[in-house]
Amino acid sequence: MTAEQLTQGLLAILPEILLLVLAFVVIGFDLVARDRKHRRALGWTSIVGLMVILIVVIGQTIPLTATDAPPVQPVFSGMVRIDLTVQLFRIMFLVAAALTCLISIDFKPLKALGEYYGLILFAALGMSLMAASNNIIMLYLSLETTGIMLYLLAGFMRDVRPSTEAGLKYFLFGAFTSTIMLYGLSLLYGFTGQTSYQGISAALVNLDKLPVMVALVLVTVGFGFKVAAVPFHMWTPDVYEGAPTPITAFISVASKAAGFAVLLRFFLLVFGPVQEQWIGLIAALSVATMTVGNVLAIPQRNIKRMLAYSSIAQAGYVLIGVAAVGTLGTAGVLYYLAAYVLTNIGAFAVVEAVTNMTGSELIKDMAGFSRKSPGVAFGLLAAMLSLSGVPPLAGFFAKFYIFSAAVGYTSTDSVTGIVGHPLVWLAVVGVLNSIVALYYYLIILKVVYVDRSEGDEVEVKVSGTLKVGLGVAVAGMLFMGVFAAPWYTLATQAAQLLR
């Protein structure tokens, strides 16, 4: 490797290098600062550092949006490829990490130490490398880096039994599915003798479809776990309920976005030659995921478990965009995930506010919260309506773009040559599921705005950091909804360059 190639490679992974440095700075600062009053500064140090890295990523992204931008070349012997899609996912991870750190500062049950923020930063580092991976070796290393950090974060409250159970269950499910996925990746290497995405894809063209589909199914198990798709979703409710609320928010948005970042690139680039075979598989996963998620969310009484099943259903909607292979489907996935990051973190910020006030996570204990904290209740209103797909919030356009991609998807019959729209039914199923979801979202709003609480409904104070985090999330939901076109145009440009 020449000096010029090394320089290009280091510049390409500069955000990851900065994340690594920031994580060590935060952990080192915690070791030096013996005064517990300084512990609060750890969160702000992480947030400021993440914002600086975000500016660096945006600076790297602007040249890639130019129409005459040169084609992006892999670096470090093809292990990593930084394109516009990767940059958009990097922005999602950094925003999710920053908001998670912000709402962690005043989360009462959590002793937010240096290692806590360090683990969040290391997880963001792993997610960023997942999105940028161009080689199955790098893919697996980044997957395991992210997974280990999230297992530790889920069980971070060691003195709280549900938290330790959440960490253990998350680890056991993750280790099991990771093993299956690793076997699928090893089969791909055995079949092709290649580890790069492009090398494997080129070799698959000459192979029989049966062994390729076996490897595809095994790899899908690992990806299905990361995005909480049915039937790989069993860990989700227990982990969401037991983990610290800020970490639940982080897992629900950042980990899911990272999973879809890998799933998109892997299926489009590696399994492109067998595209017609896996579209049906993804469509079936989509139907099962959004239906099971929505149906099981209805009877939930714990707000975090309800949001867990809601998160499963949201993964089902995103899978519609994956099934609708092409520019529209990929662009819809990118927009949906960006909107979901803001929406779900906003929802969990409200859950944290309620938990700090009442010590309970039951939906019934949120009664009358609109009179106790009108501003925070409005944030919940915006989050629930956005998850429901109500305009003019970002969630409406996210669903619109996903369903439009399914309706607009076309394929040509290899025998008759007839062009058809075989995924219209999938869009119809998605719309029907959205109607079901609206029911349980409105139940929460009814409890918050209509029901009366048992005690005095006097206004309560909510921490400033929580208000700021919620305010940023709500502003983002509104901004992405009112000005949806520029964001979707950017997502479309990234989708066109992905393949």
The per-residue DSSP string of 13-35 comes to THHHHHHHHHHHHHHHHHHH--S
Average pLDDT taken over every residue of the chain? 87
Give the span between the Cα atoms of 304 and 252, in whole angstroms: 11
Q: How confident is the model at residue 372 (pLDDT cuts 50, 70, 90)?
A: confident
CA-wise closest residue to 380 among 446, 314, 310, 290 = 446
Q: How confident is the model at residue 371 (pLDDT cuts 50, 70, 90)?
A: confident
Instruction: Give residue-wise pLDDT tens across range 189-216.
Output: 998 888 888 888 888 888 888 888 899 9
| Residue 416 reports pLDDT greater than 50 | no
For residue 128, the model assigns a pLDDT of: 93
| Residue 334 reports pLDDT greater than 90 | yes
DSSP state at residue 412: E
Helix (H) or strand (E) holding 96: helix 84-104
- What is the pLDDT averaged over residues 433-461? 83
Distances (CA, A) of 365 to 297, 326, 333, 422: 18, 45, 35, 46
Buried b (16+ CB within 10 A) or exposed e, 431-440: eebbebbbeb
Instruction: Give residue-wise pLDDT tens across range 34-80.
Output: 665 666 788 888 999 999 999 999 998 888 887 777 777 788 888 88
Q: How confident is the model at residue 17 (pLDDT cuts 50, 70, 90)?
A: very high
CA-wise closest residue to 350 among 361, 340, 341 = 361
For residue 97, the model assigns a pLDDT of: 94
For residue 35, the model assigns a pLDDT of: 62
Residues 388, 437: contact at Cβ < 8 Å?
yes
For residue 465, the model assigns a pLDDT of: 85
Read off the tokens for 168.
Answer: 């253990």
Give the span between the Cα atoms of 53 and 51, in whole angstroms: 5
CA 64, 67, 68 angle in degrees (round to 5)?
85
Give the span between the Cα atoms of 299 and 496, in whole angstroms: 41
Handedness of CA 389, 391, 397, 400 (dihedral sign): positive
For residue 161, the model assigns a pLDDT of: 86
Give the span between the Cα atoms of 107 and 116, in whole angstroms: 13
Ramachandran area for residue 389 (φ above 0: left; ψ -120 to 50: alpha; else beta): left
Higher pLDDT, 459 or 356: 356
- What is the pLDDT averaged over residues 487-494? 91
| Residue 91 reports pLDDT greater than 90 | yes
CA-wise closest residue to 372 among 353, 346, 348, 347 = 353
Instruction: Give residue-wise pLDDT tens across range 151-204.
Output: 999 988 888 888 888 889 999 998 989 999 999 999 999 988 888 888 888 888
| Residue 407 reports pLDDT greater than 50 | yes
For residue 376, the model assigns a pLDDT of: 87
| Residue 271 reports pLDDT greater than 90 | no
For residue 363, the model assigns a pLDDT of: 86
Give the span between the Cα atoms of 448 and 335, in whole angstroms: 29
- What is the pLDDT averaged over residues 300-311? 92
Phi, psi of 306 (to 5 degrees): -65, -45
CB-based burial label for 271 (10 Å; 0-12, 13-18, 19+): buried
For residue 408, the model assigns a pLDDT of: 84
| Residue 299 reports pLDDT greater than 70 | yes
SS3 assignment, position 80: strand
Distances (CA, A) of 140 to 134, 211, 253: 11, 21, 20
Read off the tokens for 139.
Answer: 């893919």
pTM to 2 decimal places? 0.93
The number of angstroms, rounded, from the C-alpha of 68 to the middle of its chain's C-alpha atoms is 31
Q: How confident is the model at residue 365 (pLDDT cuts 50, 70, 90)?
A: confident
Residue that is written with structure tokens 């797909």 in the block:
389
Give the span between the Cα atoms of 187 and 308, in whole angstroms: 33
SS3 assignment, position 415: coil
CB-based burial label for 71 (10 Å; 0-12, 13-18, 19+): exposed
DSSP state at residue 393: S
Give the span between the Cα atoms of 473 and 430, in whole angstroms: 25
| Residue 337 reports pLDDT greater than 70 | yes
Instruction: Give residue-wise pLDDT tens across range 238-268.
Output: 999 888 889 999 999 999 999 999 999 888 8
Buried b (16+ CB within 10 A) or exposed e, 79-100: bbbbbbbbbbbbbbbbbbbbbb
CB-hemisphere CA count at 13 Å for 35? 4
Residue that is written with structure tokens 């089969």 in the block:
187
CB-hemisphere CA count at 13 Å for 176? 12
Q: What percent of the chain has pLDDT over 70?
A: 94
Helix axes 374-388, 327-358, angle to 10 degrees: 150
CB-hemisphere CA count at 13 Å for 441? 23
For residue 415, the model assigns a pLDDT of: 45
CA-wise closest residue to 43 among 56, 30, 32 = 30
Higher pLDDT, 498 or 141: 141
- What is the pLDDT averaged over residues 293-301? 92
Domain locations along the chain: 273-499
Give the span between the Cα atoms of 372 and 357, in whole angstroms: 10
Higher pLDDT, 330 or 464: 330
